[in-house]
Amino acid sequence: MAQKIYLNGKLIPREEAKISVFDHGLLYGDGVFEGIRAYDGRVFRLSQHLDRLYDSARAIALRIPLTKKEVQDAVIKTLRANNLRSGYVRLVVTRGEGDLGLDPRNCGEPAVFIIADKIELYPEELYRKGLELVTVATKRNIPEAIDPRIKSLNYLNNILAKIEANLQNMPEAVMLNKDGYVAECTGDNIFIVKDNILITPPFFVGVLAGITRQTVMELAKERLKLVVREEVFTRFHLYNADECFLTGTAAEVIPVVKIDGRQIAQGKPGKITNGLIKEFRNLTKSEGVEIY
């Protein structure tokens, strides 16, 4: 079946899905997006993703020309059109067509498009064995310049860090903020476990308000009865953690067993990490907006 793309209210074949070269989303990365997962006929935490989309748009003074209910219906419609019960949705809102200047006031109607497809960020084997990471030189954007809580189309900061990871044949990279504190990875939030306490960096160091991040924090408190803290920490704390893992919409919950050549604890996924992987996967089977 030919892939269908939602573009400005219509479902059209992939080959016909085009936007103007004068769209400021293309020219300047001026727009916002969400990555959303569907599991076995349900779209996971769709309302939280839409809340974040609208928060990001409001932060850059971008008016989304649809209500949240209309966007939700469009997401479901796109999944149905592609006969997907499980998959990945990329929901994008651009500033729209303008001129070659920066001024967003010269742009017309924002463009909205939705892509639904399959995704596998990491092979299942790595969820059993764990990832190896490397710290890169590219620093995380400071919130006072571009707040990472704005999920914008301008991902060059992350891409530069990803390039450094690629050059070292690493699947992911740890990014520090300007003060040397651990912020996040190129596409995922990061957690450590120390003395049965789950710790993740706070927003002010420069991290995305991850939907999976928040879900895992809730599961850790409610299901595993763990103490969960948002605290600053350095690479020293990474190297000496009892466990480490990453979270993200595409990655879900994935263990980390080595960072900058240092083995984390026993060099294999820990009990708490494995417990959270299980709890998260169970939750995705029972929660979400139904597609059919």
Q: Residue range 142-160: average pLDDT?
A: 95
Please report the pLDDT score of residue 292 as a whole number: 86
Mean pLDDT of 89-99: 98
One domain, residues 206 and 228: yes
Mean pLDDT of 32-51: 98
The CATH number for 13's domain is: 3.30.470.10
* Alpha-carbon span 246 to 105, nearest angstrom: 39
Average of per-residue pLDDT across 70-97? 97
Same domain (yes/no): 102, 172 = no
Tell me the chain's radius of gyration from C-alpha atoms. Answer: 19
Same structural domain, 146 and 278: yes
- Find the mean pLDDT for residues 232-250: 98
Write down the pLDDT at residue 137: 98
Last residue of a domain, one of 94, 117, 140: 117
The first and second tokens of residue 56, run together, are 């990001």
Same domain, 183 and 90: no
Cα pseudo-dihedral 52, 56, 57, 60, rounded to 10: 170
217: domain CATH number?
Answer: 3.20.10.10
User: What is residue 1's predicted lDDT score, i.e. its pLDDT?
Assistant: 76
Is 151 one of the catalytic residues? yes
Are 154 and 273 members of one domain? yes
pLDDT, one tens digit per residue, over 101-144 is 999 999 999 999 999 999 888 999 999 999 999 999 999 999 99
Task: Indicate if 109 and 203 belong to the same structural domain.
Answer: no
188-201 tens-digit pLDDT? 999 999 999 999 99
**Helix, strand, coil percentages, rounded to 5, for the chain:** 30, 30, 40
Interatomic CA distance for residues 49 and 204, integer angstroms: 21
Residue 120 has a pLDDT of 84
* Residue 77 domain flag: yes
* Per-residue pLDDT tens over the stretch 157-189: 999 999 999 999 999 999 999 999 999 999 999
Report which of 290, 223, 284, 216 is spatially closest to residue 253, judged by C-alpha positions.
216
The single residue of 18, 68, 151, 221 carrying the catalytic annotation is: 151
Domain membership of residue 292 (yes or no) is: no
The answer on 225 and 87 residing in a single domain is no
User: For all residues of the chain together, what is the average pLDDT?
Assistant: 97
Domain endpoint, select from 117, 144, 177: 117
> How many domains is the chain partitioned into structurally?
2
Tell me the two tokens of residue 171.
């699947």
Task: Tell me the residue ranges of DSSP E strands in the chain.
Answer: 4-7, 10-13, 31-39, 42-43, 87-94, 111-117, 131-135, 172-176, 182-185, 189-194, 197-200, 227-230, 243-248, 252-259, 262-263, 289-290
Q: Tell me if 186 is assigned to some domain.
A: yes
Q: Is the domain of 113 the same as that of 137? A: no
Residue 165 located in a structural domain:
yes
Distance of alpha carbon 233 from alpha carbon 240, whole angstroms: 11
What is the rounded CA–CA span in Å between residue 146 and residue 276?
31
The pLDDT, as a whole number, for residue 108 is: 96
Q: What is the model's pLDDT at position 223? A: 97
- Residues 44 and 215: beta-carbon distance below 8 Å: no
Q: Is 38 helix (H, G, I), strand (E, B) or coil?
A: strand
Domain that residue 44 falls in: 4-117
Residue 290 placed within a domain: no
Q: What is the pTM of this model?
A: 0.96
Residues 169 and 207 in one domain: yes
- Model pLDDT, residue 3: 97
